[in-house]
Chains A and B, each alone.
Chain A
C-alpha cells in the first residue's frame, strides 16, 4: 500500500478493537488503485476509487464481470493490498498494518459471505460457524459453542448443527456462511454475490436475512451483486465499469 499517513492508534489489546473511532464512516477508500502486472501486460483493475461506507449502511456494488468489484471487496476486506491509495476502517488507516494486525482486524470487525459459501466440508455446521471465534484466544470453548448456536438460531438452522455442508441445500449453506459471519459479531459484512448460486426464492430469503441484520442489528453491509432487483433493495447502489466508479 502507498500512503503518507502512518498508523498511530493500533489495537491496545486483541479484544478492545477500534473502540475509540470517532467517525461515522465505517470504511473509507481514498484514491485506491489496483494494477496487476506481468512481464508483458499491465492490467488496471481499479482506477482511483474514492468511496466512503457509513456505519449502518447497506450498499450494493454493481457492474459487469471483470470490472473490479471483487477486487474492490478484497481490498475492503483487507484480503488484498491496493497498488496505491489508502484504506481506513472506522477512521483508522490500515496502510502499514502488519499481517498479524490485519488478521486481527478482519477477525474482530469484518464478516465475509461468499458466492460459493466457502464452508469446510469436513467440519460440521456448528464447527464451521465457530471458525472465526477459534482465532480469538479470549473466547472459551463453551462460549464459542453458545455463540455459534445463537448465530445458527438467527439464520433458522439450529436443527442442523451436526449436519455437514454436503447434506445441506445451497440456500442452507449460504445461511451457514452468514451464521459464520455473524458469530464473530462483526460491524461490517462483505458479501460477494451471496445469492449468485441460488435460485430466486432462496436468493430472496438470503436478501431478507441480510436486510434484517442491517435494519435490526445495525450491521454495515457491502454487497457485490449482478442482480438489479436485489441491488435496488439496498440503500445505495454503486456502479463500476472498467475499474472505475461510474455512479
Chain B
C-alpha cells in the first residue's frame, strides 16, 4: 500500500507540488523557530556559574566630587562591610550580572593562536568569589599574592575559555598575550561558568581581570565601581535604607540606586522573552494559516475524488481503509516536503548561520519534523473521516 501511495503521489506531482512547497516552507519556519527555542532551552539548562540570590547591586554616582575618591571609597566599603546583615562586598565593572552592558574583546592569544570569537571581559576583586558564589574548579581566585604580580597580570578564565584555548591541557599557569605581545596575562584559576548576561545567555568564553576595589584609578575614567553586596537571607528594606544612608553620610553627597540581582534577572528575562513571544506568535499565526490551507486543500481533494472513493470501497476498501489512505497520502506529501526542508535546514550547521552547536540544529530538525507531521495529521484527520463516511453507491453514481 505504501508503494501504491507513493505511485499515486508521484503521478499527481503537479497537483501536489504546491502542497509540498507549503509544507516545505512551514517546516522551514518551524525549524528556525525551533533552533531559537532549543538553543534558549539548552542555554537555560546550563549552570549560571554564580548565585544571584541575596545580592544587591549599588550603582553609586559620585557626581562632580572628584576629591579623594579612593579614600572615600575605602572608607565606604569598610563602613558597609561593618553593617550587620552584610556578608561580603565586591566592586566590579559596569557589566554586572543581568545588566545591559557588555565588554568583549578578541585580543587574547596563546602561542599566537586566538581563542576564536569574542571573550567577555569582567573586572573583579578578591571578594567577588564570595559575593557571587563562583565555583572555582582549578587553581584559585584572586588574593593578596597577586599584589606582587608585576607586569604579568593575573587573570581567571571560565571553562569555556579554557576548553577553546587549551583543549585538554591544564589552563592554570598558562600565559596569554595580546596580538602585539606587549601585554601578558597569567592564568591563576578557572571557574566553572559565568553566564552573567541572562538565563538564556550562552556559555561563552569569559575572563576576569583583577581590579582592587579601592583603587579607583584603575577603573575607566576614574569611575566608581559598581558595588555588589551579599546580604544575609531575609534582609529587606530596613537594611537597604541603612546602607543608602551610610553611603550618603560617609561620602557627603554621593548617591546610590539599589536593585537586587533577582530584580535585574527578571527585568532581563522580560526583555528577552517579549520578542521571542512575539516571534512565536507570528510563527503560530503562520502555522494556523498553513493548517487552514492544508485543511481546505484536503477537503477539496476529497470532494473531487468521491468517485474514486466509491470505486475503492467497491473493490474492497473499508471506511477506515479509505480514511487511512487519505491520511497516508497526506503523510507521504508531508514526507516529501519535509525532505526538501531538511535539505535546506542542513545548510544551517554547515554554514554556521546562527553560530550554535550542531546538536541544536539536529534537535531543532527533529522537533520541526515531529511538529509538521503532527500538524498535517491533525489537518488530514477530519477530511479523512469524511471520506470514510462517503456512501459508495452514491459517490459512484455522482460521476
Which A residues fall within an 8 A CB radius of B?
Answer: 70-71, 74, 77, 79-80, 99-100, 103-104, 106-108, 112, 114, 116, 118, 120, 122-123, 127, 131-132, 134-136, 141, 180, 184
Q: Is the CB of B312 within 8 A of A131?
A: yes
Q: How many residues of B contact A (CB 8 A)?
A: 27
Q: List 6 A-B contacts (CB under 8 A).
A: A100-B320, A112-B311, A118-B307, A122-B11, A131-B311, A134-B4
Which B residues fall within an 8 A CB radius of A?
Answer: 1, 3-4, 7-8, 11-12, 307-308, 310-321, 391-393, 396-397, 399
B394 to chain A, nearest CB (A): 8
Q: Is the CB of A135 within 8 A of B314?
A: no
Q: Is the CB of A136 within 8 A of B316?
A: yes
Closest to B4 in A: A134
CB-CB under 8 A from B314, the residues of chain A are 77, 79, 106, 112
Q: Is the CB of A127 within 8 A of B396?
A: no
CB-CB under 8 A from A134, the residues of chain B are 1, 4
A4 to chain B, nearest CB (A): 24
Q: Is the CB of B315 within 8 A of A135?
A: yes
Q: Is the CB of A79 within 8 A of B318?
A: no
Q: Is the CB of B399 within 8 A of A118?
A: yes
Task: Determine the distance from Cα of A104 to Cα of B314 in the docked complex, in whole angstroms.
Answer: 10
Task: Determine the distance from Cα of A45 to Cα of B392 in the docked complex, in whole angstroms.
Answer: 17
Task: Determine the distance from Cα of A100 to Cα of B323 in the docked complex, in whole angstroms.
Answer: 13
Task: Determine the distance from Cα of A134 to Cα of B328 in the docked complex, in whole angstroms.
Answer: 15
State the main secondary structure of chain A at its contact with B: helix
Q: Is the CB of A80 within 8 A of B391?
A: yes
Q: Is the CB of A80 within 8 A of B318?
A: no
Q: Is the CB of A135 within 8 A of B317?
A: yes
Determine which of B312, B313, B399 lies in contact with A116 in the assembled complex, contact meaning CB atoms within 8 Å: B399
CB-CB under 8 A from B397, the residues of chain A are 70
Counting from the closest, the 6 A-B pairs by CB-CB distance are: A107-B316, A135-B316, A80-B393, A74-B393, A122-B11, A79-B393
CB-CB under 8 A from A122, the residues of chain B are 8, 11-12
Closest to A128 in B: B311
Task: Determine the distance from Cα of A184 to Cα of B393 in the docked complex, in whole angstroms.
Answer: 20
CB-CB under 8 A from B4, the residues of chain A are 127, 134
CB-CB under 8 A from A108, the residues of chain B are 316
Q: Is the CB of A106 within 8 A of B311?
A: no
Q: Is the CB of A103 within 8 A of B321?
A: yes
Determine which of B1, B3, B396 lies in contact with A118 in the assembled complex, contact meaning CB atoms within 8 Å: B396
Task: Determine the distance from Cα of A77 to Cα of B317 in the docked complex, in whole angstroms.
Answer: 14
B168 to chain A, nearest CB (A): 55
Q: Is the CB of A79 within 8 A of B11?
A: no
B317 to chain A, nearest CB (A): 6
CB-CB under 8 A from B1, the residues of chain A are 134
B16 to chain A, nearest CB (A): 10
B91 to chain A, nearest CB (A): 76
CB-CB under 8 A from A180, the residues of chain B are 315
Task: Determine the distance from Cα of A114 to Cα of B308 in the docked complex, in whole angstroms.
Answer: 12
Q: Is the CB of A132 within 8 A of B11?
A: no
Q: Is the CB of B396 within 8 A of A99?
A: no
Q: Is the CB of A141 within 8 A of B8?
A: no
A222 to chain B, nearest CB (A): 14
CB-CB under 8 A from B318, the residues of chain A are 99-100, 103
Task: Determine the distance from Cα of A99 to Cα of B316 in the docked complex, in whole angstroms.
Answer: 10
CB-CB under 8 A from B312, the residues of chain A are 131
CB-CB under 8 A from A131, the residues of chain B are 311-312, 315
Task: Determine the distance from Cα of A136 to Cα of B4 in the docked complex, in whole angstroms.
Answer: 13
Task: Determine the distance from Cα of A205 to Cα of B17 in the docked complex, in whole angstroms.
Answer: 41
Interface core residue of B3, B314, B396 (most chain A CB under 10 Å): B314
Task: Determine the distance from Cα of A181 to Cα of B96 in the docked complex, in whole angstroms.
Answer: 81
Determine which of A70, A99, A118, A184 lies in contact with B311 in the assembled complex, contact meaning CB atoms within 8 Å: A118
Q: Is the CB of A120 within 8 A of B311?
A: yes
B139 to chain A, nearest CB (A): 68
Closest to A192 in B: B396
CB-CB under 8 A from A71, the residues of chain B are 393
CB-CB under 8 A from B7, the residues of chain A are 123, 127
A133 to chain B, nearest CB (A): 9
B323 to chain A, nearest CB (A): 11
Closest to B308 in A: A120
CB-CB under 8 A from A141, the residues of chain B are 3
CB-CB under 8 A from A100, the residues of chain B are 318, 320
Q: Is the CB of B8 within 8 A of A123?
A: yes
Task: Determine the distance from Cα of A136 to Cα of B311 in the docked complex, in whole angstroms.
Answer: 16
Task: Determine the distance from Cα of A105 to Cα of B307 in the docked complex, in whole angstroms.
Answer: 20
CB-CB under 8 A from A70, the residues of chain B are 397
Task: Determine the distance from Cα of A131 to Cα of B8 in the docked complex, in whole angstroms.
Answer: 12
Closest to B392 in A: A79
Determine which of A114, A120, A135 lies in contact with B396 in the assembled complex, contact meaning CB atoms within 8 Å: A114
Task: Determine the distance from Cα of A14 to Cα of B51 in the docked complex, in whole angstroms.
Answer: 69
Known: A79-B392, A79-B393, A114-B396. A103 touches B317 (CB 8 A): yes
A209 to chain B, nearest CB (A): 19
B325 to chain A, nearest CB (A): 10
Task: Determine the distance from Cα of A77 to Cα of B393 in the docked complex, in whole angstroms.
Answer: 9
